[in-house]
Amino acid sequence: MSILEQAESIKKELNEEITSIDNLNDLANLKVKYLGKKGLVTSLTRDMATLSIEEKKEVGRISNEVKKEVTSIIEELEKNLLEKELEKKLASEKIDITLPSTKVNVGSANILEKLVEEVEELLVSMGYDVVEGPELEKDLYNFELLNLPKGHPARDAQDTFYTDGDTLLLRSQTSPVQIRTMLANTEKTPIRMICPGKTYRRDDDDATHSHQFTQIEGLLVDKNVSLADLKGTFDVIAKKLFGNDRETRFRPSFYPFTEPSVELDISCFNCGGKGCNICKGTGWITVGGAGIVHHNVLDNCGYDSNVWSGFAFGFGAERLAMLKYGITDIRTFYTNDLRNKETFDRKDAE
Ligand code: DAH
């Protein structure tokens, strides 16, 4: 067979064989068969040494042409197969973004904190300042100047957690911040303040009591302040927290630092006042204490009680949050029990 015939037959064979190649692996084998060291194309020049110069030129030229042609045919197919393979890969690895994603647990603000903020926001809009006081408090402010001298029977329930005998204690109420605010206001101008904060007292820890809890204290000092002002303010707070249908009422009570003193009740948001297990059948729920600031307290703090008057109130923040969010045990606020997470995970409270 002449070199030309050999070349033609190689090309013919390749063109036939290539039609059945459909993957890169087979193509690699085919490449070796034609272009490898012992391949068909290479074999065209195997006997070069025995040829004359003229023949060498002829064989060289023809074998080069064949090599080029074979290479381009193989490369063309290689390109096609690579493209197909990529398409297949893209199709099989496609991410379906319409699938629901894996649920990520995102935390939410503590509902006690949310409740305090809600009250703060409301009262700030009514011109109140938010102030803070220390949790380690002087007996003088926590009791004495609040009209609770040593030996006063009303101390009994709160006489607790002293750190140094009888002058410093973990505050049993946020009311001492009233004293601090009045004393600090040396110009003796009107006061509107609220003070949310932690308090500590000797208590049996049960479903509704904890030795540590949060109070929201309020104090307003001005001229001609009456119970009607307190009632109006309480009304706004109750409606903001528990809905516009809430009614409020005062019940006579006793606190040494207010005179008269009242318990703050709201009509039950659950039964609307008919009586249910939340309001224990009474139709009313007590949410705090309040009253007209006792003249002794004003005078103790340098506000002449013949000129000045005021009202004060104190809410239990956990109690408000428990009522608002249907929590039945105050201890869930402090136990870090993950089973209660759902109760606290209140996106609707955000
Ligand atoms: N300090 C009271 C308590 O812990 C609550 C309270 C009652 C606060 C009447 C007040 C108030 O400011 O006027 O039980």
Q: What is the 3-state secondary structure (H, E, C) of 79-117?
A: HHHHHHHHHHHHHHCCCCCCCCCCCCCCCCCCHHHHHHH
Q: Which of 112, 109, 105 lies closest to 327 in space, CA to CA?
A: 112
Q: Give dist(CA 296, CA 275) in Å, integer.
A: 39
| Helix/strand number for the chain, H first, E second | 11, 9
| Residue 343 DSSP SS3 | helix
The alpha carbon of 174 and the centre of ligand 1 are apart by a number of angstroms equal to 8
Yes or no: say if 126 and 237 are a contact pair by the CB < 8 Å rule: no
DSSP 284: E
The alpha carbon of 289 and the centre of ligand 1 are apart by a number of angstroms equal to 5
pLDDT at 115: 93
Q: Give me the residue label for tokens 């408000």.
A: 320
Question: Where does residue 101 fall: left (phi above 0), alpha (psi -120 to 50 degrees), or beta otherwise?
Answer: beta
Tokens linked to 84: 């197909």
pLDDT at 166: 87
pLDDT at 160: 83
Q: Give me the residue label for tokens 């109130």.
A: 313
Q: Which amino acid is at 326?
A: G
End-to-end CA gap in the chain: 91
Burial class (CB in 10 A: 0-12, 13-18, 19+), 275: middle
Question: CB count, 10 Å around CB of 199?
Answer: 24
Predicted TM-score (pTM) of this structure: 0.71
Question: CB count, 10 Å around CB of 210?
Answer: 20
Tokens linked to 124: 């700030």
Of ligand 1's atoms, which has the minimum distance to the CA of residue 219?
A: 12
| CA distances, 321 to each of 114, 119, 309, 317, 349 (Å) | 9, 11, 31, 6, 11
pLDDT at 327: 85
Q: Which of 147, 126, 110 lies closest to 218 in space, CA to CA?
A: 126
CB of residue 313 inside a 6 A radius of ligand 1: yes
Q: Please confirm whether the linkage preceding 134 is cis (ω < 30° from 0).
A: no
Residue of the nearest CA to atom 3 in ligand 1?
A: 173
The alpha carbon of 347 and the centre of ligand 1 are apart by a number of angstroms equal to 31
Q: Domain 111-349: which topology?
A: BirA Bifunctional Protein; domain 2 (3.30.930)
Residue of the nearest CA to atom 9 in ligand 1?
A: 290
pLDDT (tens, 9 = 90+) of the chain, 350 residues, equals 788 888 899 999 999 999 999 999 999 999 999 999 899 998 888 888 888 888 889 888 999 999 999 999 999 999 999 999 999 999 898 887 787 888 887 777 888 999 999 999 999 999 999 999 999 999 999 999 999 999 999 888 887 889 988 899 999 999 999 999 999 999 999 999 999 999 999 887 788 888 999 999 999 999 999 999 999 999 999 999 999 999 999 999 999 999 999 999 999 988 888 998 888 899 999 999 999 999 999 999 999 999 999 999 999 999 999 888 888 888 888 887 877 777 777 656 55
| Residue 213 DSSP SS3 | strand
H/E element, 258: strand 258-267
Mutate to test the pocket of ligand 1, among 257, 261, 262 (most ligand atoms within 8 A of CB): 257
Which residues partner with 248 through β-bridges? 266
Q: Give dist(CA 80, CA 72) in Å, integer.
A: 12
For the four alpha carbons of 202, 205, 211 and 216, in that order, the dihedral sign comes to: negative
Tokens linked to 257: 């630092």
